[in-house]
Amino acid sequence: MNIENIEAFVYVNHYGSFNKAAEVLFLSQPSVTARIQTLERELDCKLFDRQGKQIMLTEKGKQFLPYAQQILQTIQKGRLHLQDRVVRPQELRIGSTVSVSNYLIPDILPQLRRHFPELAFKLTTAPSDELVKKLLDREIDLAFVRKLSHPSLQSYPFYEDPIRLYVYEGHPFAETRRVTIGEIRHQTLVFFECGSLDWLRLHRVFEHLEHKPHIAFHADNSETAKKLVLQKAGICFLPGLCAKEEEERGSLIPVEIEETKGISLYTNLIALTGENEEFIHAILAKESMYSI
């Protein structure tokens, strides 16, 4: 009996879909179907029934499922033993800042799930300092935080997010796409900052202006700031990641300012030194997805 056919059976049951199982196994849907059909011939019984768009186990399928799962688990344990690796936990606890939780985690988790389909994932959203404490207290396993260094932690650069001025569709700056810092002094500004040291460079640029800009709204949440710009209440310096979808749609337009060029928010992936390296490598292997 082919192990790959048993694997296909377990995955189809887990995801409730031949297409989803094929995606996770990096196979075509017909290949997964063929594996299930071969297994059914070997067992001389039908394993799945279709009820509308749903796929349900037959009674024979329900009887065979625990044995199939046990076979895969036994093989995995054998592999880990031969490779002298620590058995993976059943749950990976990931911490992240608000911006990473909103804009990167939805892309990261499906990739991790493909690598580690047996894992459950628990997410915690908090400021960087709180996440570091949770990591040191072993309340979480990994964290995405603002750039930092700590003697007990290993830290990997993960994402650089440029801060740029964004204006709404129809704003005069949307035509030129490039202005000087002095030209914004007559504009109504929405000012967002996340409390990170990365924002200090932007403050320093403003401090050197003879005429300070008119800041009408202060926001501590990027989504609030962004929506104020979309409502044409003002213009705002924002991290590019939070404005990505609106920029692609053309409802927010980035404007280049020479004096603020190169100002970015930096996100690092951190973990206790020497721990969870397998998960770290899996995440960093996908780094090209995140424009590092």
Print the domain residue range for 260: 160-265
pLDDT band at residue 82, thresholds of 50, 70 and 90? low
With beta carbons less than 8 A apart as the criterion, state whether 198 and 151 touch: no
pLDDT of residue 198: 58
What residues contact 231, with CB distance under 8 A and at least 6 apart? none
**Closest of 195, 196, 190, 147 to residue 165, by C-alpha:** 190
| pLDDT (tens digit per residue) in 165-191 | 999 999 999 999 999 888 888 899 998
Do residues 146 and 272 share a domain? Answer: yes
Q: Please give the Cα distance from 8 to 33 (Å, whole number).
A: 9
Do residues 155 and 272 share a domain? Answer: yes
Read off the tokens for 260.
């603020």
Separation of CA 158 from chain center: 11
Do residues 260 and 273 share a domain? Answer: no
Do residues 105 and 62 share a domain? Answer: no
Higher-confidence residue of 148 and 14: namely: 14
| pLDDT (tens digit per residue) in 204-230 | 777 777 777 788 898 888 899 999 999
Tell me the H-state helices in 137-253.
173-176, 200-207, 222-230, 244-249
Q: Is 0.75 surpassed by the pTM of this model? A: no
Which of 25, 49, 82 is the C-terminal boundary of a domain?
A: 82
Q: Please give the Cα distance from 73 to 61 (Å, whole number).
A: 18
Higher-confidence residue of 252 and 20: namely: 252
Do residues 23 and 43 share a domain? Answer: yes
Which of 82, 110, 137 is the C-terminal boundary of a domain?
A: 82
Q: Please give the Cα distance from 23 to 32 (Å, whole number).
A: 10
Do residues 199 and 218 share a domain? Answer: yes
Task: Check which CATH number belongs to the domain holding 15 and give it.
Answer: 1.10.10.10
Do residues 67 and 102 share a domain? Answer: no
pLDDT of residue 291: 43
CA dist list (Å): 162 to 198, 239, 241, 264: 10, 6, 8, 4
Number of H helices, E strands in the chain: 12, 12
Surface-to-core class of residue 282, CB atoms within 10 Å of its CB (0-12 exposed, 13-18 middle, 19+ buried): middle
**How do strand 91-96 and strand 264-272 relate by DSSP bridges?**
unpaired
Do residues 209 and 130 share a domain? Answer: no
Do residues 114 and 136 share a domain? Answer: yes
Do residues 189 and 256 share a domain? Answer: yes
Read off the tokens for 280.
């770290």
- Render 230-288 in DSSP notation, one character per residue: HTTS-EEEEEGGGGHHHHHHTSEEEEEEGGGTT-EEEEEEEEETTSSHHHHHHHHTTGG
Task: Check which CATH number belongs to the domain holding 129 and give it.
Answer: 3.40.190.10
CA dist list (Å): 267 to 109, 130, 145, 239: 17, 15, 5, 12
Do residues 229 and 270 share a domain? Answer: no
| pLDDT (tens digit per residue) in 17-29 | 898 888 877 789 9
Do residues 78 and 51 share a domain? Answer: yes
